[in-house]
């Protein structure tokens, strides 16, 4: 369990929001690593709202340890999707029932759903990338 936590900590840069970023090529993730839990995200070079936030828990077993991983969107991205989804839905209700503009209401709902579809597909793409980097980092063939 300690070896896995050390491996994760070795490739994770602790985030200091008040300081200047220190770039080291050995780091692949930003985040916080504790003895039994961690929260990580890929280090990115340009803004990206839909990268996964990896929340993990390490539990010891008789022959090693088990990693429990959860991949989620960042809370700000969830807020963004919920806010604009609600706005599009309310606007569609207004257009459909108060203005009688069913076609415009359909376009409003379509825009809201398109936002969700785009976010989900982009999240899935970045999820695969994050999983690959994470699994490569934990590779047992590699001795570091």
pTM score, whole prediction: 0.79
**Residue numbers in the chain where pLDDT is lower than 70:** 16-25, 140-144
In 3-state terms the chain splits into helix, strand, coil percentages (rounded to 5) of: 50, 20, 30
pLDDT tens-digit readout, 12-46:
888 765 555 555 567 788 888 888 899 999 888 88
- Would you mind telling me the total number of residues written for the chain in this entry? 144
Token pair, residue 90, equals 């309310």
pLDDT at 144 (0 to 100): 47
Q: Which among 1, 5, 11 is positioned nearest to 137, based on CA atoms?
A: 11
**Which residue ranges make up each domain of the chain?**
2-74
15: helix, coil or strand? coil
Q: 83-121: b or e for each residue (b if 16 or more CB lie within 10 Å)?
A: eebeebeebbeebbeeeeeeeebeebbeebeeeeeebee
CA distances from 71 to 83, 104, 130, 137 (A): 21, 35, 10, 17
pLDDT at 23 (0 to 100): 56
Token pair, residue 51, equals 């990268």
**CA-to-CA distance for 144 and 119, rounded, in angstroms?**
36
**CA-to-CA distance for 33 and 56, rounded, in angstroms?**
9
pLDDT at 25 (0 to 100): 60
Q: Which among 38, 76, 40 is positioned nearest to 57, based on CA atoms?
A: 38
pLDDT at 121 (0 to 100): 95
CA angle, 29 then 16 then 128, to 5°: 20
For the chain, the maximum distance between any two Cα atoms, rounded to a whole number of angstroms, is: 67
């Amino acid at each position: 369990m300690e070896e896995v936590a050390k491996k994760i900590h070795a490739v994770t840069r602790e985030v200091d929001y008040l300081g200047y970023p220190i770039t080291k090529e050995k780091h692949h993730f930003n985040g916080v690593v504790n003895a039994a839990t961690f929260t990580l995200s890929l280090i990115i070079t340009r803004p990206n709202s839909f990268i996964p936030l990896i929340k993990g828990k390490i539990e010891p077993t008789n022959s090693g340890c088990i990693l429990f991983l959860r991949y989620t969107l960042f809370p700000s991205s969830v807020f963004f999707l919920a806010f604009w989804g609600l706005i599009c839905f309310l606007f569609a209700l207004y257009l459909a029932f108060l203005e009688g503009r069913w076609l415009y209401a359909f376009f409003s709902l379509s825009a809201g759903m398109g936002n969700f579809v785009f976010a989900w597909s982009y999240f899935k793409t970045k999820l695969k990338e994050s999983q690959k980097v994470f699994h490569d980092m934990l590779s047992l063939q590699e001795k570091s």
